[in-house]
Structure 1
């Protein structure tokens, strides 16, 4: 595994330290978590859907948490006291996982559903009116009177 040192960039670019920290965290998380297939789709301008393949997991075995601009999905398989099977071939390995996604500003989770072994998480970015672009009219008000 190759690591990237962002320290030289942080000395030259002011205000990009958070971006380099996010990249560093993302690469570390990708290594530490078990791999689970997922898609990220974009609908319209500000709607998104994360789809994770969670075949073999029940609703109660999945935990979805949104905290501090991070979305974390954990799957913990319940242990049962069934007789141990002897596999001739085991191509479907259901194992615990944890997958984290960094959310942008003003992104909130709308809903989560399971359909056909896929966990669907719908997200939406709600930009406050104060942050939306607006047209400034020229000559409509005298600033000297205020």
Structure 2
């Protein structure tokens, strides 16, 4: 079993995307990877590089101490086809070749939540992919 924090950018991104969006398929994981890339491209309180962004406290629920996805994200192997796909896409992210399908989003939430988070203001909305609504907040919501 791996231990936290993960420092390898490909592993951190793949496991985060898998932990957050494996139920959304490749497109959902691609969108989460886009958010990770957009955050890493605009260093701020959420981290300064891919692994740092993924491991920032309370930013991706799959890494929260009480989240059941945490143990699964640490132990998933290449035998899982969704994880294998997440690794391939994460490698593209690390190499700078991953397309951003989120229109620059740096934040998202699961639309199945009873109500949107307070930060999810309409002027920051970018798109909805699967069950996730994507927003570009930036350090001050610009962009």
**TM-score, normalised to structure 1's length?**
0.24
Q: TM-score, normalised by structure 2?
A: 0.24
Flag the structure with higher helix content.
2
More strand as a share of residues? 1
Task: State the structure with bigger RCO (CA 8 A, min sep 6), 1 or 2.
Answer: 2
